[in-house]
Amino acid sequence: MRLIITEKNNSAQKIAEILSGGAATETKSFTIPVFKWSDSEGETSVVGTGGHGVERAFPEEKEYKQWKLDLIHGLVDAPLITRPTDGKKNVIRAVQKEAKAADSLVIATDFDREGELIGLESLEVALEVNPDLEPTVKRARYSALTKEEIEGAFSNLDTLSYPLAHAAGARQDIDLIWGAAFTRAVSLMAKAYGANFLSVGRVQSPTLGLIVERELERRAHVFVPYWELFAKFEHPSGSSFETHHATDKFWDRAEADAALAATADPGVVKSVTSRKNTSKPPTPYNTNSFQVDASSRLGITPKQAMNYAQDLYDDGFISYPRTDNTIYPDSLPLKKTIESLVKIKDFAAAAPLLDAPLKPTQGKKFDAAHPPIYPTHALYPSALDGPKARVYELIVRRFLATFSQPMITESTRADIEAGGETYFVRGKVVLDPGYAGIYTYARSSDEEIPALEEIGHEIYENYGLGMLNEVIDRVCARMALRLVDVAIGRGLVPPNSSIGFTGRAAISGRKPEYILEGIIERQLYENPIDHVVFVDDGLARGAALMARCMNSLGKPKEPLGGVRGGPCIMARRIKIGK
């Protein structure tokens, strides 16, 4: 019988399913799942260890258990022992039961340093009951739980890397000795006994030191109040953007109040400076860049991200998520993978990639052990649960982005004069989204601003503020009338119905006058003054009040927003109070 040992139960199930062609059956051995099948090569059993089955520990002698300063030096040279990990005795029993009946052994744990150590630990457990297995041991290395990867790995079996496994074992021993020695020393010197001991670790203590340094800086900070001024402007396109006063910070409240009081409509673009930028597509994901993106793009902690990625890997949807590699190896079926992904509606925007030769970006690190993180199976993200779907989509979009064109933007700074004060805005105008068309995380509405031009300033300088306001009013009126034309064309304005306008783009200045002229030109009503209303209020509240007003068509004695004795729907600007 051939025995295959994997690192996880779902890996065992997936490998058994692939190698058996779906014929494997699940049995239990000491409550541990074992997957078995028979074929032309004989019987095969697959067992997942669920991680480390054994752990390193100090000997049972009292000098290693007592917390005394004079005994700490003995921990450094202590002859460490290996013992079953808590809760893993049944795993060891199941492995040894299968090993007794086996005549060959394949280690198929994860392809990394830790996986190599788990494989060595499993081998030693098996050899305790069947030493004859040692010359038969082979190693299956794979980076994805896909049919191609698994069949390829078992067709090209390798040998177990003892140096790699011993490197992981050495780190394990150092963590134990370092943690025990320094934890006891620090706790004893601080007189922190019992449950109040002070934990010290090779990784956790330097991290804690960074946190303490930052906290001390925070406590040393002297708070000085200041004020900032922001102004929001509306672009003729209908979008709005926020600007900052030319003075970065006001240290005097009176100066800030004076600047605020001097700020007034309209905002006039005085100057615009732009610089074209080319943003290269991102490089393939390695573990570190994936964790950074999952945190910044999705708001998922690095640990959670790796847990979700591990689940996706175990399900066969992505490649192995623990890798330093940022260069796709030639062996990957890149074109085939993209062809399958763009059939999914969510990723169809990447279909044009197949119209040209595929030239992915490359990072600086190459690791032959694993490829960069990439999707190995195409599926709709909605088929997955919550955060796992978002992680899968992130990985797919990053993968597709590595084959895409650069994003072209213009970095823009505009100075806007509002009354007697100057405000500025910095942002970027996207000229060609390039890779950001599929890797949508690369675009931020907070950074993007509408295209700004200095034409308003030129009109103001040459013809004065009155002409500038006239131009603005006529342009806005034409935009409003264009919406009316579209609504009529789509059958949204029934005969004898009413039309209402609200919002500053329709009701300020002479805009109502020009809009009404356009309505008259379109000959929509015999008496347009009874069918058009301009409501001066906040957009949402104004629209609600307008609807109520329109629902009382006719000439009631005291219509909402109307004039006593006048028509309910008035073709003139009205102010609605509370």
Catalytic residues: 320
Query: What value, to the nearest 5°, has the Cα angle with vertex 366 and ends 360 and 369?
Result: 110
Measured CA to CA in angstroms, residue 259 lies from 230, 460, 477 at distances of 11, 22, 31
Phi, psi (rounded to 5 degrees) for 290: -65, -45
Cα separation, 468 vs 456, whole angstroms: 7
Q: At what angle do helices 287-298 and 302-314 cross, to 10 degrees?
A: 110
- DSSP SS3 for 549: helix
**Pairing between β-strand 42-48 and β-strand 54-57 as defined by DSSP bridges:** unpaired
Cα separation, 431 vs 277, whole angstroms: 10
**Pairing between β-strand 54-57 and β-strand 407-418 as defined by DSSP bridges:** unpaired
Instruction: Give the list of residues 6+ apart from residue 325 with CB closer than 8 angstroms, or none.
Output: 284, 286, 363, 365, 366, 367, 369, 370, 371, 372
Task: Report residue 566 as tokens.
Answer: 């006048």
148, HSE (Cβ side, Cα atoms, 13 Å): 9
Cα separation, 506 vs 543, whole angstroms: 13
